[in-house]
Structure 1
Amino acid sequence: MTEKQQSLTVGRVAELVGVSVRTLHHWDTIDLVRPSGRSWSDYRLYDADDIARIHRVLVYREIGLPLAEIARILDDPEVDPREHLQRQRALLAERISRLTKAARAVDEMIKRTTPMNQDKNIKLSPEEQTRIFGTDWDPAWQDEARERWGDSEQWAQSVERTGHYSASDWKRVAEETAALDADLAEAMQRGVEPGSVEANALAERHRASISQHYDCTASMHVVLARMYTEDPRFTAHYDRRAEGLAAWLRTVIEESARTQGVDPETAGWE
């Protein structure tokens, strides 16, 4: 009997599909993917249909659907298998298009932040910003940020640090930001509780990403997190990755700050 025909343990399935054993256990608990069998010693055993369902979950999770919505789609008896696959394909194509556009924007920014271009002090015009970042980008946002924080120490730090970024620095920042957003969405969908060790580690990772541009204290982090739910632009940024992510991230940041002696209710820009 081949491995494809056998029932596989949770550890082997985790290796095959590229998710953690903990994630598979969580999906079992919430009835998203339940293994069809059990061994004589009560270990979970997954058959070919179970693994096929896991792959469908991964596709929908990749495009940012919440786990509850994924379960509803997969368990809907009215969904035709062919139409189901076509829906997956269309959603993936849409995501690929967005990521390709984002990658091109990063490539353009890398070109403009090479030492040669920095020496020429080239700045993006509003038209160029719109062309690079798409129609959702509003060039006025940069002016708004400058008006709001232009006199702050943090703005000066950001200008100084980003002004000296190399092409590899920009590439690293872009990759780390994308990976962080994906990990935040995955943690929320997996049910990671704000205030837990894992959630606090993610909060610190998020704060560290900001501190690449300027020194961000735990108190400042809380102030920024308020905007994630109060400013629709920030909310849209995170909730496009997973519905409710902005509110969850704000809570994660606030609970992490508590462990560092910061009261989220009174936190200020300090």
Structure 2
Amino acid sequence: MKSKLGYIKFVLLIALVAFLFGFAEKRHDNRKMTGTEVHFTDSENLYITVDSVNNLLIQNEEGDSNLGEETLDLNKVETLLNSNDMIENAEVFLNLDGKLSAIVSQRKPIGRAVGNQSFYLDRKGKVMPLSENFSARVPLMLGFNEVNIFEAYPLVSYIKNDSFLSKHITAVNRLENGRYELKMRKLDFVVYFGAVKNIELKFNNFKAFYKKALIDEKLDTYKKVNLQFGNQVVCTKK
């Protein structure tokens, strides 16, 4: 008798848990969205604004705040945000208070092509359009289009990730022969880099030259610094 009573209690307990779970899920599904909120992982330079992201969140039925949460497809909302030209990655989720929230990482420019075509090269080596909201302080890229710019990515990326080079190099110029020249901030000489190879070696040589010339106060005496000859830095005086 006791075992039968215990079995009945167990069945009732299971039924109660299932009921409470179903009730909570139904209540959660019927809850209305209370709005949206946007967080940027880097909020200093906004290539896309909070308002623009909010507009994307409510652009179609997936982001309509009048819909119940059961109608939301968060993957579709994320896909919508990630298709934006200024967004590198977006994560979308629902808060406990019913808000549709987005954590947004913007694309990061490392160079800006100027000329017949104007656009950015981003840190992943992809073409990025200019933003109406902010202009990035990155080296200018001369003589490039949306096809040949990818060959310069290793060079421009190296410059961007080096504190000394990113401070002093203001432009990357692609010559007709496919070689490269670099322009320096507040200095008259041109750095002839040559082909995009042996990048680390060439820049280490350049840094050693720059340090020595700075100590000797000779930086202003050169018009061209050539890095293409292996371990040598060949300078041409004014």
**Could you state the TM-score of these two structures normalised by the residue count of structure 1?**
0.22
Report 1 or 2 for greater relative contact order, CA contacts < 8 Å, sequence distance ≥ 6. Answer: 1
Q: Which protein has the bigger helix share?
A: 1
TM norm structure 2: 0.24
